Amino acid sequence: MRDTPGNNDIVSRGGGFSWPWSRARDVNIGSGARTENSTVNLGSPARVQNSTVNLGSMARVENSTVDAEPSGRSRRADRRREQAAGLEGGAAVAGWKSFIVTAVVMAALVFHALPHVGRFGGLSPVEMRAFLAMVGAYIPVIGDFDAARWLVPAVAGWMWQPVAAGIGAGILRLIALNAAKKDPLSAIWIAAAALAVDAATWLFVGLTLWGSAFSAIEGEAVIALLKLEAGALVVLFVLLRRSGRFRAGRNDAVQGGDD
């Protein structure tokens, strides 16, 4: 069949004309291509990779920080061990100081309290002296030193002391015994205050009774033991003060070196 010119026009213009539904199909195809392009989204994987690299660098920074921490912890642990060792050494030294001070204060307490035992027990001065002589017979002699020779007459020479002064000095020595557990230096000061009470009663009362309430031998023994007690307290005080200054200077030096 022969084509008409109208048909030829249609065929010849086929490439330039598109039906509305054909145009819609072309639009769909184009949108599909754009959808695929947006789905692929090559930029996001690149950003993920970049973020992965950043996380790796952060991980390396964190690892370096963790590696630096053990050295700080080890230094703190060493410092704690040094402090613990210092505290243990200080506790041992304080234990010996407390023991020595307690022994001295206890001996003074027994010496000054024993003369009042007979008074509270209803013993007369003669009976009390006989009792002290019996006790002195059991005190051993160490080398050439006879402790009973001084202790027995000194205790007998304290039987004249007023009860109020004896109780006051005894309370101070009990306080010193309690303080010696934590602060030996303060215990020495308290024991010195008790000795001051006894020395005051001896000076103002005891000397006036010399030869009447006690004999000259007993008076000399009292003076000797008072001097011995005072000397022991002075020696302990000097030793504790020197030890405290030495430890304080050492601690300051150690702290200055650590800083």
Q: What is the pLDDT of residues 215-225, one digit of tens each?
A: 999 999 999 99
Residues 118, 204 contacting (CB under 8 angstroms): no
pLDDT attached to residue 117:
85
Global pTM? 0.60
> Which residues, 6 or more positions from 176, have their beta carbon under 8 angstroms from its beta carbon?
101, 105, 187, 188, 190, 191, 194
What does the pLDDT look like over 95-142, one tens digit per residue? 888 999 999 999 999 999 998 888 888 888 899 999 999 988 888 888
How far is the first Cα of the chain from the last one, in angstroms, to the nearest whole number? 113
Give CA–CA dist 26/35, Å, rounded. 14
In the chain, the amino acid numbered 154 is A
Block means of pLDDT (10 residues each) for the chain, 259 residues, are 48 51 48 44 45 43 44 65 53 75 94 88 88 89 86 92 93 96 93 96 93 92 95 94 58 45
Instruction: Return the structure tokens found at 46.
Output: 């690149």
Residues 187, 244 contacting (CB under 8 angstroms): no
Give CA–CA dist 38/36, Å, rounded. 5
